[in-house]
């Protein structure tokens, strides 16, 4: 089973016990009487990830001030971004869970997947050294920095920013409505439509109504960003 994961991350462990530990949730360790789970590795992985991301941002964006670098870092190491990475790797398939977590959908829980990813980073670091951890972070986490819209990232609350923009343009206020809900209860995806009178209509998805509304607001902001006040 772990050979498949090693193939996905393009890294072969010398000490397979480190990978096994990284994928072992406390519920499984308690159930099987194991001495170690992935909690300490998660703690270490969080620090290793933070340092690598900080180093990469300083190297790639020497023109940015500390505030904008911090915003970029916050996004890259956020639970939302790490969850998407864990999803792409199908990390939930490889988690070792206790019966209770298994029954309650532990393989798709955000917290467990994010913790597992951070533990995996630590396991790679301990097994292959800092350069191996760097390669993993570069390939699977830092690579998405090219897709980040720095202007949109500055807007920590897109709904408020959109409201201010529309007021300045003397346009109708934005209206939001949930147009679709898909997926099981523990992993529901919401699609929210945003409408600004007859000027704009768009939709975005999110794992909560609030997230979907914020993403929809970002779409509207992009649309009205070139409009004259």
| 100-101-105-107 Cα dihedral, nearest 10 degrees | -150
pTM exceeding the 0.95 threshold for the entire prediction = no
Closest among 91, 67, 52 to 156, alpha carbons compared: 67
Single out the catalytic residue among 46, 115, 127, 215: 46
Q: So what's the pLDDT on residue 206?
A: 83
Residue 208, in any domain of the structure: yes
195-215 as b/e, with b when 16 or more CB fall inside 10 Å? bbeeebebbbebeeeebbbbb
**Mind giving me the DSSP string for 153-172?**
HT-S-HHHHHHHHHHHTT-P
Q: In the predicted model, what is the mean pLDDT of residues 2-19?
A: 96
Single out the catalytic residue among 101, 115, 118, 213: 118
The token pair that represents 159 in the structure block: 């709904």
Per-residue pLDDT tens for 181-195? Answer: 987 776 688 999 999
**Backbone conformation region of residue 33, classed left if phi is above 0, alpha if psi is from -120 to 50, else beta:** left
Q: So what's the pLDDT on residue 228?
A: 54
* Gyration radius of the chain over CA positions: 21
Residue 173, pLDDT above cutoff 70: yes
Query: Same domain for 84 and 187?
Result: no
Residue 36, in any domain of the structure: yes
Residue 229 annotated to the active site: no
195: which strand partners?
Answer: 175, 201
Q: Count up the domains in the chain and report the number.
A: 2
Query: Same domain for 116 and 54?
Result: yes
Enter the DSSP assignment of 100: H
From 148, 178, 212, give the residue that closes a domain.
Answer: 148
Query: Same domain for 140 and 174?
Result: no
Find the CATH number of the domain harbouring 66: 1.10.1520.10
CA-angle at 122, arms to 44 and 206, nearest 5°: 90
Per-residue pLDDT tens for 47-71? Answer: 999 999 999 999 998 988 888 888 8
Per-residue pLDDT tens for 74-100? Answer: 889 988 889 999 999 999 999 999 999
What domain range is 202 assigned to? Answer: 158-224
**H-helix or E-strand spanning residue 201:** strand 200-206
Q: In the predicted model, what is the mean pLDDT of residues 136-150?
A: 84
The token pair that represents 87 in the structure block: 């999803």
Mean pLDDT value across the chain: 89
204: which strand partners?
Answer: 192
Residue 37 annotated to the active site: no
Task: Judge contact between 143 and 53, C-beta under 8 A.
Answer: no
Residue 197, pLDDT above cutoff 70: yes
Q: So what's the pLDDT on residue 152?
A: 56
């Amino acid at each position: 089973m772990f050979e498949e994961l090693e193939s996905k991350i393009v890294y072969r462990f010398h000490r397979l016990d480190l990978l096994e530990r990284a994928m072992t949730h406390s519920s499984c360790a308690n159930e099987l009487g194991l001495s170690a789970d992935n909690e300490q590795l998660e703690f270490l992985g969080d620090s290793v990830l933070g340092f690598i991301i900080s180093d990469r941002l300083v190297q790639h964006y020497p023109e940015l001030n500390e505030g904008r670098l911090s915003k970029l870092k916050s996004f890259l190491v956020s639970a939302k971004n790490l969850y998407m990475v864990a999803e792409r790797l199908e990390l939930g398939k490889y988690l070792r869970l206790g019966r209770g977590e298994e029954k309650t959908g532990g393989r798709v829980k955000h917290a467990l997947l994010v913790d597992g990813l951070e533990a995996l980073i630590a396991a790679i670091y301990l097994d292959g050294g800092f350069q191996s951890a760097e390669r993993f972070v570069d390939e699977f986490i830092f690579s998405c920095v090219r897709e980040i819209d720095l202007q949109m990232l500055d807007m920590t609350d897109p709904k408020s920013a959109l409201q201010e923009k529309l007021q300045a343009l003397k346009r109708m206020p934005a209206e939001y409505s949930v147009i679709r809900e898909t997926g099981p209860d523990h992993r529901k995806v919401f699609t929210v439509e945003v409408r600004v009178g007859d000027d704009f209509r768009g939709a975005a998805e999110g794992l909560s109504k609030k997230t979907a509304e914020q993403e929809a607001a970002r779409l509207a902001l992009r649309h009205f960003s070139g409009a004259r006040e």
